[in-house]
């Protein structure tokens, strides 16, 4: 048998008594629409509140289009951006509206991080609920920015929520796992697959398929007469492809933890939290060094680019001086001692060029208008302020003021 162990966790939730305060861990829930992300966040919230002592999480709702949430988030994208307003003002459909709303919110994510970091001493878990449609978060720049900036300041883990009753067919199961695999590859963060809705469908079959690929291939091939073999009994192209992919997935399963929960009944949440705690160590050991190294490389590359353009400018200026000695006059003799002065000249020169070379189109009007979504203008109510202004109007009975209104109920 081709067995290996999918790390399942069976220990109970960690006690926080007598343990020095660790950094909070960010749990980013991701999953297909309807998999139960919001319900999961809600159950996790009530589960953590019911602990002794209670460990209330800090929750961020990043779904601008949700009409009802089964929990009270600490930060709600809907308070900052009105996705309907975004749709109206930028002539977008629902998906474009949600995506743009998330983009707008992301421009303020540094403020969100500040708020989150302020809670680091009192909170153990930061929980993120993401938009219903998975691709809005997983295939957008905003999703990557949010994930990366969180992961570079706090231990972070992906909770990939699976709708278990909907993945009992081997082909659907494989599609779902391939998607999970692509997210692991993109985020490079510790990964927990959460088989949800176990009150409706036990997740034993999924755990077994992950533990033993021969079992899974057996299930795949049991669909004989279902397009898996041709008229002569030979495996079809589709069958061979699925068999090969199941081998790829076998490798993927070795890198993740699987837990089974019911967000309806609360079953399995202690196992989930134990898996989160294990991910913290994984993050610190395997992921953090990589994140820091990547940051260092980025900083070095930036420095290099700056240095290169400075060197080129200095060369140009020396040539310029040779051709036209008047420009730098008597002050320039090409010695190192004079380099600082040249840099100052260069800076002035550069500043002038900035004004000439760059075009800011945000104030322009007309057909083909370029809209700088990050800049509020005097002539239109910016969608990021729409709701907070309304709120302030209601609260104060007057027109709205400036600034961003961040709700902090907790
Ligand atoms: N039976 C059952 N239903 C669930 C569970 N979790 C979520 N649901 C239902 O699945 C539907 C989608 O849930 P929701 O949290 O809105 O999904 P999201 O789009 O991923 O946020 C809702 O009708 C929930 O009541 C669960 O553990 N068991
Ligand atoms: Mg939801």
pLDDT range class, residue 3, cuts 50, 70, 90? very low
pLDDT at residue 396, as a whole number: 35
Whether 14 has a pLDDT exceeding 60, the answer reads no
Whether 19 has a pLDDT exceeding 80, the answer reads no
Q: Which residues contact 249 (CB under 8 A, 6 or more apart)?
A: 174, 177, 178, 181, 213
Mean pLDDT across 216-230: 70
Mean pLDDT across 303-327: 65
| Residue, of 315 and 120, whose pLDDT is higher | 120
Whether 261 has a pLDDT exceeding 60, the answer reads yes
Identify the nearest ligand to the CA of 196 by its number. Answer: 1
198 C-alpha to center of ligand 1: Å?
11
Model pLDDT for residues 21-60, shown as the tens digit of each residue? 788 999 999 999 999 999 999 999 999 999 999 999 999 9
CA-based end-to-end distance of the chain: 51
| Residue, of 210 and 379, whose pLDDT is higher | 210
- The residue whose CA has the least distance to atom 19 of ligand 1 is 34
133 C-alpha to center of ligand 2: Å?
9
Q: Which residues contact 117 (CB under 8 A, 6 or more apart)?
A: 153
Q: Which of 226-230, 234-238, 387-391 has the highest mean pLDDT?
A: 234-238
Model pLDDT for residues 175-199, shown as the tens digit of each residue? 999 999 999 988 989 999 999 999 9
Identify the nearest ligand to the CA of 263 by its number. Answer: 1
Whether 295 has a pLDDT exceeding 90, the answer reads no
- Rounded to whole angstroms, how far apart are CA atoms 249 and 174? 8
Helix, strand, or coil (residue 76): strand
Q: What are phi and psi of 63, to 5 degrees?
A: -95, 105
pLDDT at residue 17, as a whole number: 54
Q: What are phi and psi of 325, to 5 degrees?
A: -55, -20
**Average pLDDT value over all residues in the chain:** 76
Q: Which of 94-103, 248-257, 279-288 has the highest mean pLDDT?
A: 94-103
- The residue whose CA has the least distance to atom 13 of ligand 1 is 36
pLDDT at residue 309, as a whole number: 66
Reading the block at residue 317, the tokens are 């200026």
Angle (CA) 337-338-343 rounded to 5° is 120
pLDDT range class, residue 236, cuts 50, 70, 90? confident
34 C-alpha to center of ligand 2: Å?
7
| Residue, of 160 and 234, whose pLDDT is higher | 160
Among the ranges given (82-96, 102-116, 208-222, 353-367), the one the predictor scored with the smallest mean pLDDT: 353-367
35 C-alpha to center of ligand 1: Å?
6
Q: Which residues contact 28 (CB under 8 A, 6 or more apart)?
A: 128, 130, 147, 150, 156, 157, 158, 159, 189
- Rounded to whole angstroms, how far apart are CA atoms 300 and 304? 6
Residue pair 157/189 in contact by the 8 Å Cβ criterion: yes
- Rounded to whole angstroms, how far apart are CA atoms 275 and 261? 12
pLDDT range class, residue 297, cuts 50, 70, 90? confident
Model pLDDT for residues 335-380, shown as the tens digit of each residue? 444 445 545 544 443 443 333 222 222 233 333 333 334 344 444 4
């Amino acid at each position: 048998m081709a067995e290996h162990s999918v790390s399942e966790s069976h220990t109970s939730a960690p006690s926080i008594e007598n343990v020095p305060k660790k950094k909070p861990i960010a749990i980013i829930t991701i999953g297909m629409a309807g998999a139960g992300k919001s319900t999961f966040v809600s159950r996790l919230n009530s589960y953590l509140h019911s602990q002794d002592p209670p460990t209330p999480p800090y929750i961020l709702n990043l779904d601008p289009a949700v009409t009802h949430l089964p929990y009270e988030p600490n930060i709600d994208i809907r308070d900052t951006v009105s996705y309907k307003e975004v749709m109206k003002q930028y002539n977008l459909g629902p998906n474009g509206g949600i995506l743009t709303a998330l983009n707008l919110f992301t421009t303020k994510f540094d403020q969100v991080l500040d708020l989150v970091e302020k809670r680091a001493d009192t909170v153990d878990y930061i929980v993120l609920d993401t938009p219903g449609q998975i691709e809005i978060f997983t295939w957008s720049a905003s999703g990557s920015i949010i994930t990366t900036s969180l992961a570079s300041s706090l231990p972070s883990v992906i909770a990939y929520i699976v709708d278990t009753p909907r993945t009992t067919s081997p082909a659907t199961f494989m599609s779902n796992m391939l998607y999970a695999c692509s997210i692991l590859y993109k985020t490079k963060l510790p990964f927990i697959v959460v088989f949800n809705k176990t009150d409706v469908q036990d997740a034993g079959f999924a755990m077994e398929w992950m533990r033993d690929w021969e079992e899974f291939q057996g299930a795949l091939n049991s669909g004989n007469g279902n397009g898996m073999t041709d008229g002569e009994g030979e495996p079809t192209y589709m069958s061979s492809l699925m068999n090969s992919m199941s081998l790829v997935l076998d490798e993927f399963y070795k890198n993740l933890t699987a837990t089974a929960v019911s967000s309806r009944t609360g079953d399995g949440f202690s196992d989930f939290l134990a898996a989160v705690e294990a991910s913290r160590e994984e993050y610190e050991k395997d992921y953090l060094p990589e994140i820091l190294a990547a940051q260092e490389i980025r900083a070095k590359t930036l420095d290099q680019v700056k240095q290169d353009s400075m060197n080129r400018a200095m060369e140009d200026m020396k040539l310029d001086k040779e051709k036209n000695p008047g420009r730098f006059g008597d002050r320039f003799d090409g010695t190192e001692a004079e380099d600082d002065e040249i840099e100052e000249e260069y800076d002035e020169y550069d500043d002038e060029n900035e004004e000439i070379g760059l075009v800011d189109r945000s104030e322009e009007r007309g057909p083909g208008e370029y809209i700088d979504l990050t800049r509020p203008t005097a002539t239109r109510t910016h969608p990021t302020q729409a709701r907070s202004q309304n709120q302030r109007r209601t609260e104060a009975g007057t027109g709205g003021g400036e600034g961003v209104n961040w709700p902090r109920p907790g």
